[in-house]
Amino acid sequence: MNEILASSPAHPEPLSAAQAVAAGIDFAELEVNAHGVFWIQLHPEDGTCRLWRRHAGQTHCLTPPGFSVRSRVYEYGGGAFCLAADSAIFVNDRDQQLYRQPLDDSAPQALTQGERRYGGLSFAHGQVLAVEEEGAVHRIVALGLPAGERQVLAEGVDFYAAPVVSVDGRRLAWVEWQRPHQPWTCTRLMVAKRGDDGQWSAPRCIAGDHDDQSLQQPRFDARGVLHCLSDLNGFWQPWGESGSGFVPLPAVEADHASAPWQLGSCTWLPLDGGYLACCLDNGAGQLRRQFADGTSADLSGEFSRFRNLALDEAFIYCIAASGTRPSAVLAISRADQAVQVLAGGVSPLPAAAISRPQAMSYPSGGAQAHAFFYPALNAEGPAPLLVFVHGGPTSACYPVFEPRIQFWTQRGFAVVDLNYRGSSGYGRAYRQSLHAQWGVADVEDACAVVGHLAGQGLIDPQRAFIRGGSAGGYTVLCALAFHKVFRAGASHYGVSDPLALSRATHKFEGDYLDWLIGDPHTEVERYHARTPLLHAGRIKVPVIFFQGELDAVVVPAQTRDMLDAVQAQSIAAEGHFYPDERHGFRQPANQADALEKEWQFYRNIMAPRP
Taking only the tens place, the pLDDT of each residue in 198-225 is 899 999 999 999 999 999 999 999 999 9
Q: Is there a domain that residue 78 lies in?
A: no
Share above pLDDT 70 across residues of the chain, in percent, rounded to a whole number: 98
Mean pLDDT of 31-43: 96
What pLDDT score does 265 carry? 97
538 SS3 class:
helix
What pLDDT score does 8 carry? 44
Q: How far apart are CA 426 and CA 420, in angstroms?
A: 10
509 touches 541 (CB < 8 A): no
Q: Is there a domain that residue 534 lies in?
A: yes
Q: What is the DSSP string of 512-532?
A: HHHHHT--TTT-HHHHHHT-G
Share above pLDDT 90 across residues of the chain, in percent, rounded to a whole number: 88
Stronger pLDDT, 84 or 552, i.e. the higher one = 84
What pLDDT score does 607 carry? 87
What is the total count of domains within the chain? 1
- In eight-state DSSP terms, residue 508 is G
Q: Is the pLDDT reported for residue 517 higher than 70?
A: yes
Mean pLDDT of 96-113: 95
The full 3-state SS of 384-424, as one line of letters, equals EEEEEECCCCCCCCCCCCCHHHHHHHCCCCEEEEEECCCCC
What pLDDT score does 505 carry? 85
Q: Is the pLDDT reported for residue 385 higher than 60?
A: yes
Crossing angle of helices 471-482 and 441-455, rounded to 10°: 70
Where residue 5 falls among pLDDT bands split at 50, 70, 90? very low
Name 43's bridge partners: 48
At 105, the amino acid letter reads D
Q: Is the pLDDT reported for residue 2 higher than 50?
A: no
Q: Is the pLDDT reported for residue 582 higher than 90?
A: no
* Closest to 368 in 3D by CA, of 300, 293, 283: 283
Q: What is the CATH number of the domain that holds 483?
A: 3.40.50.1820
What pLDDT score does 610 carry? 64
What pLDDT score does 609 carry? 67
Q: Is there a domain that residue 476 lies in?
A: yes
- Burial (Cβ within 10 Å: 0-12, 13-18, ≥19) of residue 63: buried
What pLDDT score does 12 carry? 54
State CA 465 to chain mean position distance. 24
Q: Is there a domain that residue 525 lies in?
A: yes
Q: Is there a domain that residue 321 lies in?
A: no
Mean pLDDT of 15-25: 91
Q: Is there a domain that residue 392 lies in?
A: yes
What pLDDT score does 410 carry? 95
Taking only the tens place, the pLDDT of each residue in 251-300 is 999 999 999 999 999 999 999 889 999 999 888 999 999 998 889 999 99
Q: Is there a domain that residue 567 lies in?
A: yes
What pLDDT score does 185 carry? 98
Which residues form the domain of 437? 355-606
What pLDDT score does 294 carry? 87
Q: Is there a domain that residue 160 lies in?
A: no
Instruction: Give the gyration radius of the chain's Cα atoms.
Output: 24
What pLDDT score does 553 carry? 82
Mean pLDDT of the chain: 94
Q: Which residues contact 437 (CB under 8 A, 6 or more apart)?
A: 421, 422, 516
